[in-house]
Amino acid sequence: MDVDIVISMGLVGVMLAMLGMGLLIAYYGSSKTRNVGVSFLVLGVGLAYYLVVMDTSDVAFWNSMLAFVGGMVGGMLGIIAFLVAIIKS
């Protein structure tokens, strides 16, 4: 079960990165790079679908995933706050 948790955490990290980069590239990119952003979004949605349909019946799995996603979101919010502070000054 420990290997399942590690693999799932890696997939969640890649999924969040693909969704975030895909949104930014698809919105702010030039006409050539928007296709790359859309492909990142498709890959992120595909990973999210895979994570939803996989067997996750263990409580320890959900506890670890909640902690991991909370850490990832907290780190992203910290980076965004840092960038806003740098840009405003």
Q: What is the DSSP string of the chain?
A: -HHHHHHHHHHHHHHHHHHHHHHHHHHHS-TTTHHHHHHHHHHHHHHHHHHHHS----HHHHHHHHHHHHHHHHHHHHHHHHHHHHHH-
- The pLDDT assigned to 1 comes to 59
- The pLDDT assigned to 81 comes to 92
Mean pLDDT by 10 residues, the chain (89 residues): 76 87 87 89 91 74 81 88 88
- The pLDDT assigned to 39 comes to 92
- The pLDDT assigned to 88 comes to 84
